[in-house]
Amino acid sequence: MTSHSQSAPRGSVHDQVNLPSPTGWPVLLAVGLALIAGGVISSGYVTFLGALIAVAACVGWFRDVLPQERHVPVIVVPQEIVIVSSRRKVARMAPRGLARARLPLEIYPISAGIKGGLAGGVAMALLAMFYGVVSHRSIWYPINLLGAVVYAHVQVTAPEMEAFHIELLLVATALHITTCVLVGLLYGTLLPMLPRRPVLLGGLFAPLVWTGLLHSILSIVDPVLNQHIDWLWFLASQIAFGLVAGVVVVRQVRVPTWQYPFSVRAGVESPGMMGDGDSRD
């Protein structure tokens, strides 16, 4: 519904439009209702008077709109309205002959992010297990630690943390894969946006910031977990993830960004959309 029910038919004679006629009934109705309210505080007579006014105003209002809404014709004075900009110059990026572009011009397909995330995840897991062997003589230690973040069934004693627990392995694996894929997807989206040295930024800088953040808040959020984390190794595994995921993503083939909105690609035709015989390739 985009037309005007209350104005003159569009496109016809422009010298006159019908506007709703001014009326005093709405303000009188408001007066009536206000008096009803005021009477509650002061006196029943005021309420009674307010009610009378309100009823009268309602009747008057109805007669204004029923059976036919009352209008006043207003003469339209046609005016030449010139719409120009004082700023004719438009700065543009104009890459590859496009007047405007959706940036970045090329992106990685979604699969790139998933591949990168999984590859990074493998590298990270291997490094973490290596850490487990070196420091606790058990590859299960880091897995138990991760699993215990959400599934705290195991007592926090050294032997327990180094033993094998099937539930913790399952929980940790699910957590690890989900997180890696999600972060991988983030990498796939972000890396084309980073202007230079995407692997350096994504592989070193981001893990550093992220680890720093986590390091600063984990002592508050989960002090027990915090005691069990070797932050140097943690940082190392984050960087391993970042580098591997970054390299894998960057080696994928990029695809050009769709330059037309979805509605256009889907061939939706409706008023206001592209249209008017404008040819596009």
Partner 1 sequence: MAADSIAVPLPRTESRSLLLDWLCTVDHKKIGMMYIVYALIFLVIMGCEAILMRIQLARPESTFLSADAFNRLFTMHGTTGIFFVAMPILIGFGNYFVPLMIGARDMAFPRLNAFSFWMTAFGGILLYASFFTGGSLLHGGDAPAVGWFAYAPLTSPAFSPGHGTDFWNLSLLLAGIGSIGAAVNFIATVLCMRCPGMTLGKMPLFAWMNLVTGGLILVAISPLTAAQLMLMADRFLGGHFFDPAAGGQPVMWMHFFWIFGHPEVYVLIIPSFAFISEVLPVFSRKAIFGYPAMVAATAGIGFVSLGVWAHHLFTVGMPSYGNAFFVLTTMVVAVPTGIKIFNWLATMWGGKIRFATPMLFCIGFLFQFLIGGLTGVMLATAPFDWQLNNSYFVVAHFHYIIVGGILFAIFAAFYYWFPKMTGRMLSEKLGKWHFWIFVLGFHLTFDFMHVPGLLGMPRRVYTYQAGRGWGVWNMISSIGVIFQAAAILIFVYNIVHSYFRGALAGNDPWDAWTLEWATTSPPAEYNFSSVPAVRSRRPLWDIKHPEDPDWKYE
Q: What are the residues binding partner 1 (CB under 8 A)? A: 1-7, 10-11, 14, 17, 19-27, 29-31, 33-34, 37-38, 40-41, 61, 64-65, 72-79, 81, 83-87, 90-91, 99-100, 260-261, 270-275, 278, 280
Q: How far is the CB of 223 from partner 1 (least distance, A)?
A: 16
Q: How far is the CB of 127 from partner 1 (least distance, A)?
A: 33
- Our CA dihedral for 146, 150, 154, 157, rounded to 10 degrees, sits at 50
Q: Which is nearer to partner 1, 155 or 278 (CB)?
A: 278
Kind and range of the H or E run holding 196: none
Q: How far is the CB of 37 from partner 1 (least distance, A)?
A: 4
> φ and ψ at 106, to 5 degrees?
-130, 145
Lookup: tokens for 176:
């690890």
Q: Which is nearer to partner 1, 99 or 134 (CB)?
A: 99
* CA angle, 254 then 265 then 104, to 5°: 30
Number of H helices, E strands in the chain: 11, 4
> φ and ψ at 17, to 5 degrees?
-125, 150
Q: Which is nearer to partner 1, 94 or 110 (CB)?
A: 94
Q: How far is the CB of 180 from partner 1 (least distance, A)?
A: 23
Q: Which is nearer to partner 1, 3 or 155 (CB)?
A: 3
Residue for token digits 């539930």? 167
Kind and range of the H or E run holding 56: helix 44-65
Q: How far is the CB of 56 from partner 1 (least distance, A)?
A: 14
Q: Which is nearer to partner 1, 61 or 210 (CB)?
A: 61
Q: Which is nearer to partner 1, 74 or 174 (CB)?
A: 74
Decide if 267 contacts 106 (C-beta within 8 A): no
End-to-end CA distance of the chain: 31
Q: How far is the CB of 140 from partner 1 (least distance, A)?
A: 32
Q: How far is the CB of 41 from partner 1 (least distance, A)?
A: 5
Kind and range of the H or E run holding 108: none
Q: Which is nearer to partner 1, 137 or 276 (CB)?
A: 276
Q: Which is nearer to partner 1, 169 or 274 (CB)?
A: 274
Residue for token digits 């180094």? 162
Burial classification of residue 58, based on how many CB atoms lie within 10 Å of its CB (0-12 exposed, 13-18 middle, 19 or more buried): middle
Q: How far is the CB of 263 from partner 1 (least distance, A)?
A: 8
Residue 240 contacts by C-beta under 8 Å, 6 or more apart in sequence? 120, 123, 124, 127
